[in-house]
Amino acid sequence: MQKLIECVPNFSEGNDLSIIKQITDQIESVEGVRLLNVDPGKATNRTVVTMVGEPEAIVEAAFRAIHKAGELIDMSKHKGEHPRMGATDVCPLIPIANISMEETAWYAQKLAQRVGEELAIPVYLYESAQPNKERNNLSVIRAGEYEGFFKKILFPEWKPDFGPAEFDAKRGATVIGARDFLVAYNINLNTTSTRRANAVAFDIREAGRVKRENGKVVNDENGKPINIPGSLKCVKAIGWFIEEYGIAQISINLTNINVTPVHIAFDESCKKATERGMRVTGSELVGLIPLKALTDAGKYFLEKQKRSVGVSEKELIKIAVKSMGLDELSPFKPEERIIEYMLADASKNKLTNMSLAAFVDETASESPAPGGGSISAYVGSLGISLATMVANLSSHKTGWDERWEEFSKWAEKGQVIKDRLLKLVDEDTAAFNRIMDAFGMSKSTDEEKKIRTEAIQSATKYAMEVPYEVMKLAFNSMTIIKEMAINGNPNSVSDAGVGALCARTAVMGAFMNVRINASGYKDKEYVNQIISKGKEIENNSIQLENEIISIVNEKIGH
């Protein structure tokens, strides 16, 4: 399985797009690396770049980018709102797929060593890549910033991990590390006061603030300043003024969105700002965000409205964007901001990305795919979509306010089944193509014949497993359909009935595909097992369909 690392270098240039382009060109010159996002900020005079790829390729791309940034950026002339200490200020590596944090840290150390030895740039390790826990915190390393590092680097305790212990006036120093996924997030305030923005930042950030009375620091019995922690865990925050927008912002790093999600940081900031006489007007993301962070936010804000959360992924994202004002300063394009969307292979969703007319035309063409398996999956997705619609209508029905949560849960379950069935539309066609590819393999030698036979058998088994999953999902959807026929909005009972017809069709159609592919699979024990289970699902779905149709006809009454 492919190992994937994300790398998010921050370069101290946010205004000269030609310099930024020269740096990102270095990244794109490395095979196996995909440049996902380039996010320049004028006021911060800083560009956050996001790339992803296999570990060795990421190390090479990052090295080339750091090298080029050191050539083009002169830190002695740099000014910006964001804390910084080098041309490449920070360069974290983040494990994305099939790689541990320990291994990611090893690659970060490898990159740091190359930068220090080959480029002669002072390099500090941080977070998981730094074995010395006394200096693994980025803010502690960067304290004093560029201007203060001429003296700081001479202290024995601040000797760089790699590279010379001499501060480079032009290139500064670089911090390289390995960390968990971090969300950089700015919240907009209706003030121009950095001091007031900082007050809110101190209210919410985990580190909080030093306790003061009458303007003086309050110490404990040991003479150490007493600290008042902020309200949110795994949150770092400062306030600043952004001249470009003419407003102050709370600049937040969410270091663990499982502990403090984006929507909680937003709501808490709203609360604290209100307490201090200010108002949050919106927010902005810097770089990319995981899909779940936005869908969770969408559900959170819908639940606050006591509305069903069983809506589409697209609708959840829209609710999240509007609720947090992520489009206040610039348009928010999910396809450019959500990491899963950036990594998605469009070819894997060829059919589901088509219009209805194009899908029908493709099905009717002389091409053998999409065939009955893909159509069964699609019919099944339509069936559960109708039940989900009934659940959502019931959740919002006048006079049923106390039942909104009940129907919301049914709708949410329906969305999960619908989304998986839609993926199986393309997956079934991919399974067919895999069989065709296997049959097209060379068979000139005995070894090639053996490899070809094994490939055919593997593809055939996969071509049974996909429609069998369609069967199980479509049958499971009938539980939701029946519930909607019995207890859902009575005005939509016919929709539940049509949903049952679709679900039964999906089960029976998918089973035909299981059976036809089973004829070419040599493991008869496996074939007998899957056919036996398939017959049971088919019989149960026919029985359940009859029950649902009977309920629907009785309610319609004509």
Catalytic positions are 82, 428
Tell me the C-alpha distance between 38 and 451, whole Å: 44
In single-letter form, the type of residue at position 287 comes to G
Nearby residues of 186 by Cβ (< 8 Å), 6 or more positions away: 249, 250, 251, 252, 283, 284, 285, 286
Per the CB < 8 A criterion, the answer to whether 379 and 502 are in contact is yes
Tell me the C-alpha distance between 134 and 163, whole Å: 20
Tell me the C-alpha distance between 464 and 526, whole Å: 11
Burial of 510 (0-12, 13-18, 19+ CB in 10 A): buried
Read off the DSSP letter of residue 369. Answer: -
Q: Is 88 left (phi over 0), alpha (psi -120 to 50) or beta?
A: beta
For CA atoms 521, 523, 524, 526, the dihedral sign is negative
CA geometry: angle at 348 spanning 342 and 350, to 5°? 105
Which single residue is written with the structure tokens 């964007």?
Answer: 321
In single-letter form, the type of residue at position 102 comes to E
3-class secondary-structure state, position 131: coil
Burial of 503 (0-12, 13-18, 19+ CB in 10 A): buried
The residue count for the chain: 558
Closest CA to 38 of 16, 52, 20, 55: 20
| DSSP secondary structure letters along 201-227 | HHHHSTT-EE-EETTEEPB-TTSPBPE
| DSSP secondary structure letters along 522-550 | S-HHHHHHHHHHHHHHHHHHHHHHHHHHH
Both structure tokens of 354: 């088509």
Backbone φ and ψ of 61, nearest 5°: -65, -40
Helix %, strand %, coil % for the chain, to 5? Answer: 55, 15, 30
Decide the pairing of beta strands 46-53 and 10-11. antiparallel
Nearby residues of 69 by Cβ (< 8 Å), 6 or more positions away: 9, 11, 12, 13, 23, 87, 88, 171
Residue 361's CB is within 10 A of a number of other CB atoms, namely 11
Which single residue is written with the structure tokens 């791309």?
Answer: 61
